[in-house]
Structure 1
Amino acid sequence: MLFITNRIPKQGMKSIAGRDFEFDLENNNVANSVFYCKVNKTGRATEVMSGNFLTEVRDSGYEQVLLYCHGFSNMPEDIFKRAMTLQSLFDNKQNKHVLVIPMIWPCDNDKGVVKDYWDDQRAADSSAFAFARVFDRFLTWQGSTESKTNDIPCLMRINILAHSMGARVYRGALESWEKNSLKDGVPFLFRNSFLMAADIVNEALEKGKSGELITHASKNVVVYHASDDLALRASKAANLKNGVASRRLGHTGPEDLRKVSKNVFSIDCDEVNSVYDFPKGHSYFASDKEGEEGGEVFKHMLQCITAGRVFPDDPNKKTHILQQP
Structure 2
Amino acid sequence: MLFVTNRIPNEGYQTKIGRELTFDLQNTTPSKHLFFCKRSPDNKKYFEEGSASFFTQLKALSEKTQVLLYIHGFNNTDEADIFPNALALEEQINQYANQELVKVVPIIWPCDDDSALAFIDDYWDDQHAADASGKLFYRLFGKFVSWQKQLVQQGDECHKRINVLAHSMGNRVLMNTLYEWAKAQGDVPQLFRNAFLIAADIENEALEKGEKGQHIVDSARNVVIYYANDDLAMPASKVANLKNKTLSRRLGMTGAENLNKLPKKVYQVDCDNFNNTIDKPKGHTYFLHRGSKQTPVIKHMAEAIKTARVHPSEREYELPYP
Q: Say whether the fold is shared (TM-score over 0.5).
A: yes
TM-superposition CA deviations, 1:204-228 (whole Å, max 9, x none): 0111111001111111110000000
Counterpart of 1:135 in structure 2 is: 141
The 3-state SS of whatever aligns with 1:127 is: helix
The correspondence of residues 71-86 of structure 1 with structure 2, limited to 5 A, is 71-77=73-79, 78-86=81-89
Question: How far does residue 154 in structure 1 lie from its aligned partner after superposition?
Answer: 1.0
Name the aligned partner's letter for residue 275 of structure 1: T
The correspondence of residues 1-325 of structure 1 with structure 2, limited to 5 A, is 1-41=1-41, 42-61=43-62, 63-77=65-79, 78-93=81-96, 94-111=98-115, 112-145=118-151, 152-180=156-184, 182-183=185-186, 185-288=187-290, 290=292, 295-311=295-311, 314=313, 317-325=314-322
* Residues 67 and 260 of structure 1: CA distance in aligned 2, closer, same or farther (over 3 Å): same
CA contact (8 A) 1:275 1:289 kept: no
Q: 2-side partners of 1:27 and 1:245: how far apart?
A: 28
Q: 2-side partners of 1:89 and 1:151: how far apart?
A: 36
Q: 1-side partners of 2:20 and 2:28: how far apart?
A: 19
Question: How far does residue 289 in structure 1 lie from its aligned partner after superposition?
Answer: 5.3
Name the aligned partner's letter for residue 91 of structure 1: N
CA contact (8 A) 1:206 1:261 kept: no
The 3-state SS of whatever aligns with 2:38 is: strand
TM-superposition CA deviations, 1:262-308 (whole Å, max 9, x none): 211110000011111000000000115526xx520111011111110
CA contact (8 A) 2:162 2:191 kept: yes
Aligned residues: 315
User: Where in structure 2 are there 5+ consecutive unaligned residues?
Assistant: none
CA contact (8 A) 1:276 1:289 kept: no
Question: How far does residue 139 in structure 1 lie from its aligned partner after superposition?
Answer: 2.3
The 3-state SS of whatever aligns with 2:267 is: strand
Q: 2-side partners of 1:227 and 1:17: how far apart?
A: 46
CA contact (8 A) 1:215 1:221 kept: yes
User: Where in structure 1 are there 5+ consecutive unaligned residues?
Assistant: none
Name the aligned partner's letter for residue 165 of structure 2: L
TM-superposition CA deviations, 1:19-74 (whole Å, max 9, x none): 00112213211112110000111211100000001111111225210000000010
Q: 2-side partners of 1:48 and 1:151: how far apart?
A: 25
Q: 1-side partners of 2:215 and 2:149: how far apart?
A: 21
Name the aligned partner's letter for residue 162 of structure 1: A
Q: 1-side partners of 2:57 and 2:233: how far apart?
A: 36
**Cα RMSD, aligned residues only:** 1.6
CA contact (8 A) 2:93 2:298 kept: no
Q: Which 4+ stretches in 1 moved above 6 angstroms?
A: none
